[in-house]
Structure 1
Amino acid sequence: MKLNLRNPLCFFDLETTGINITQDRIIEIAVIKLMPNGEAIHKSNVLNPGIPIPAETSAIHGLREEDVKDKPTFKEVAKDYARFFDGADLAGFNILKFDVPMLVEEFLRNDIEFDYHRKKIIDAQKIFHLMEKRTLAAAYRFYVNKEIENSHTAEADTQATMEVLLAQVERYEGQEVTDGLNRKIGEIKNDIETLHKITSTGMVDLAGRMIFNQKGEEIFNFGKHKNKVVTEVFKIEPPYYEWMMNGDFPLDTKRKLTEIKLRGFRK
């Protein structure tokens, strides 16, 4: 089919050194500019980010420092891309949460105003999630091919959840499971320990304020110390513990926080 366009629509995607909008940089940018007449104009660049590329991100997109050392920086191509995006609306997958903020940050870092407020932004991921609901009723319909009777009663929802899990194990048994960074985290098996590791590994507290990193260390998952090791934060900023203990955080989070702090004292 052909999209009805008044303005050009730029589909774009970024590969980056990481997921921190303020600290990470773009390594690759690709844009397809779909014109109202149906013409598609392609533009892409591999870029030198000017900072180290972590091995874990190289494993995802395949770009290493030796691959980009002779490539242009974003600064060198920024004006060219700003002109390419000029007058066009934006489209992509998960661009509202990541790609647009990252792109705007790079433009502003290079003193180029990128007024996204004047553009229409289409996020295909948002449409996907809106149309393919991630509810128990939708899961029951998908896996069991039935409608829940008396939905939102505890007994009916509990029965449906049990049937969904049984159907999931039957459907996916033996299949590999990867996380959002395409790292293998396990394989679906008819085994409770295995299923627990796939669905719950990485949690430190139930609210998700702290998680485990790849080294098995507790790190913060929010705020100014996000991705920093909890014990290291307590060393450089001891009042942070008191701030959290006096703050509006769940008791479970505070309990785990205290366990980590006391463990640090015992070392």
Structure 2
Amino acid sequence: MAWHGEPLVGFDLETTGTEPLEARIVTAAIVAVRAGEPVRQRGWLADPGIRIPAQASAIHGITSEHATAEGRPARDVADEIAETLTGYWAQGVPVVAYNAAFDLTLLTAELQRHGLPSLSARLDGSPIGPVIDPYTIDRAVDRYRKGKRTLEAVCVEYGVVLDTAHDATADALAAVRVACAIATRHGSVASLTPMELHERQIQWYAERAADFQRFLRGKGDVEAVVDASWPLRELAARTTG
């Protein structure tokens, strides 16, 4: 059976901002999915320890007051998310995250911020994965399609219902369903094993970053540096201090 017919786990974060090395977790969800339907799920509301900007609250609906009153300590939330994800990886279950580089980088930064073991350390030093990112895959297999590539837009493209965008649980489930829909439409994606697809996404992500670098240079922005790492941004600077 192809990977999209096997158990998968959706993962999503809603956060205080859009810079993964600086933003903090506000809500999170991990949803185990079988045959496109959720069979187990876990959600978190964190007190991020900083004020949630109004722009972020307008997107996910969580205010600073709500998070402070009802959220759990950010350290505990980050630790539990990491333990849950690595538990699935240890069982060989792929984790699906839309724009995985953002969510996993932010989680990794939170673990470092709170002095917690990294994802790799929890896997006895093994690389994280397999990770399946419908955002990266869709951009590779349907490169010239016009329009937005937000989760909402891609759900429409692949006929996936997303009733509550920017709700972590709804987004995590939608990410899995979009990944499965892409595999159903594109046999070349379905034919890969999860780890082969993980490696292919690294290649696709790097190629797109290189294309963007050339675009910037063509516009005269010769100093621009585009991060080509996937699924984590380079965090070495944060581990040396």
For normalisation by structure 1, the TM-score amounts to 0.46
Distance (whole Å) between structure 1 residues aligned to residue 79 and residue 24 of structure 2: 17
Q: Which of 83, 98, 104 pairs up with 1:93?
A: 98
Q: Match of 2:56?
A: 57
Distance (whole Å) between structure 1 residues aligned to residue 11 and residue 49 of structure 2: 22
Q: Match of 2:12?
A: 13
Which structure 1 segments of 5+ residues have no match? Answer: 143-180, 182-205, 210-220, 224-267
Q: Match of 1:78?
A: 78
Q: Match of 1:103?
A: 107
Distance (whole Å) between structure 1 residues aligned to residue 23 and residue 38 of structure 2: 33
| Cα distance per residue 1:94-123 (max 9 Å; x no partner) | 112x11111111123231221282311100
1:18-29 alignment runs, 5 A limit:
18-29=17-28
Q: For 1:40, what is the secondary structure of its paired residue?
A: strand
Larger Rg: 1
| Cα distance per residue 1:128-163 (max 9 Å; x no partner) | 2122222xxx56xx9xxxxxxxxxxxxxxxxxxxxx
Distance (whole Å) between structure 1 residues aligned to residue 12 and residue 46 of structure 2: 13
Matched letter for residue 30 of structure 2:
V
Which structure 2 segments of 5+ residues have no match? Answer: 121-125, 148-165, 167-218, 227-241
CA distance 1:127–1:75, change in 2 (3 Å):
same
CA distance 1:39–1:94, change in 2 (3 Å):
closer
Matched letter for residue 17 of structure 1:
T
Partners of 1:16 and 1:28 within 8 A in 2: yes
**Structure with greater helix share of residues:** 2
Matched letter for residue 10 of structure 2:
F
Matched letter for residue 137 of structure 2:
I
Partners of 2:21 and 2:105 within 8 A in 1: no
Distance (whole Å) between structure 2 residues aligned to residue 49 and residue 11 of structure 1: 22
Which structure has more RCO (C-alpha within 8 Å, separation ≥ 6)? 2
Distance (whole Å) between structure 1 residues aligned to residue 103 and residue 54 of structure 2: 21
1:44-193 alignment runs, 5 A limit:
44-70=43-69, 71-85=71-85, 86-88=87-89, 89-96=94-101, 98-110=102-114, 111-115=116-120, 117-134=127-144
CA distance 1:24–1:35, change in 2 (3 Å):
same
Matched letter for residue 4 of structure 2:
L
Partners of 1:33 and 1:40 within 8 A in 2: yes
Distance (whole Å) between structure 1 residues aligned to residue 15 and residue 79 of structure 2: 19
Matched letter for residue 3 of structure 1:
H
Distance (whole Å) between structure 2 residues aligned to residue 35 and residue 77 of structure 1: 25
Q: For 2:18, what is the secondary structure of its paired residue?
A: coil
| RMSD of Structure 2 on Structure 1 (CA) | 3.4
Matched letter for residue 78 of structure 2:
A
% same residue = 26
Partners of 1:21 and 1:105 within 8 A in 2: yes
Instruction: After TM superposition, give the deviation of residue 208 of structure 1 in Å.
Output: 6.8
CA distance 1:101–1:207, change in 2 (3 Å):
farther
Partners of 1:25 and 1:106 within 8 A in 2: yes
For normalisation by structure 2, the TM-score amounts to 0.50
